[in-house]
Amino acid sequence: MNIWIKNILRFLIVMCLQILLINNLQLWGLCSPCFYLLFLFALPPTLPRWAELIIGALTGLIIDIFTNTLGVNMAACILVSYLRPIFIKTMIQDNDRLTDTLNLKTVTPSVYIRLITILIAIHHFVLFNLEAFSLSNWWLTLIHIVLSSVATLLLILLADILVD
């Protein structure tokens, strides 16, 4: 399949799942996974960096419009899009970088898990702190970050295993 169609399809499926299904999961109000990060992680590693930044910004903005959190997801996604190529460069071998997507099957699993764990942690840290916008309930925010990060990681790995 054409790499464009593949990514657009992935975008639509991931966004629908996030907005209609995952955002409605309310586990004690403390766990809100961001499954849509899968789309940003799976973008082709060869994508120009400016394009990746713009795609990240738009993805975050769309999520924000649906969840009434203007700018919050956008800021976190831009950061992920900025950091992903840097991490890819430092963590992944040259011959792996030439594939047209990044997932559990195209790069060494341990490297891939380490890469997305760091990105998810950074993303969630920015996201939930911006969302709370205060330090008054910082421990609550921290629990929120940790639980959601774990849930996001598991969901993304599950999706990678289930879908080819």
Partner 1 sequence: MKSLLQFLSKYSILLMFIALEVLSLILVTTQNQYQRSAFFSSANSISGWTYSIYSNISSYIGLKKENQVLQEENTLLKNQLTMLENQNEALREGLAADYTYADHDYNFISARVINASVNKNHNYLTLNKGKRDGVRVNMGVVNSDGVVGIVCSVGERFSTVIPAINTDAAISCKVKNSNNMGFLKWDGRDYRYCQLKDMAKHIELNVGDTVLTSGVSSIFPSNIMVGTIKEINTAESDAYHQIVVTLSTNYNQLGYVNIVSNNTQIEQLAQEHEYMD
By CB under 8 A, name the one of 79, 107, 119, 151 that touches partner 1.
79
Q: Which member of 3, 46, 82, 118 binds partner 1 (CB under 8 A)?
A: 82
Residue 34 and residue 131: Cα distance in Å, rounded?
Answer: 14
**Can residue 20 be called a binding residue for partner 1 (CB under 8 A)?**
yes
In the list 12, 70, 98, 118, the residue contacting partner 1 (rule: CB under 8 A) is 70
Cite the DSSP H helix spans in the chain.
Answer: 3-16, 37-41, 49-67, 72-91, 109-132, 138-162
Binding-site member from 1, 29, 94, 162 for partner 1 (CB under 8 A): 29
What is the Cβ-side half-sphere exposure of residue 122, based on CA atoms within 13 angstroms? 18
Q: For residues 63 and 97, what is the distance between their CA atoms, to the nearest angstrom?
A: 28
132 binds partner 1 (CB under 8 A): yes
Please state the φ and ψ torsions of residue 17, each to the nearest 5 degrees.
Answer: -60, -45
Site membership for partner 1, residue 152 (CB under 8 A) = no
Binding site for partner 1 (CB under 8 A): 19-20, 23, 26, 29-32, 49-50, 53, 57, 60, 64-72, 74-75, 78-79, 82, 130-133, 137, 140
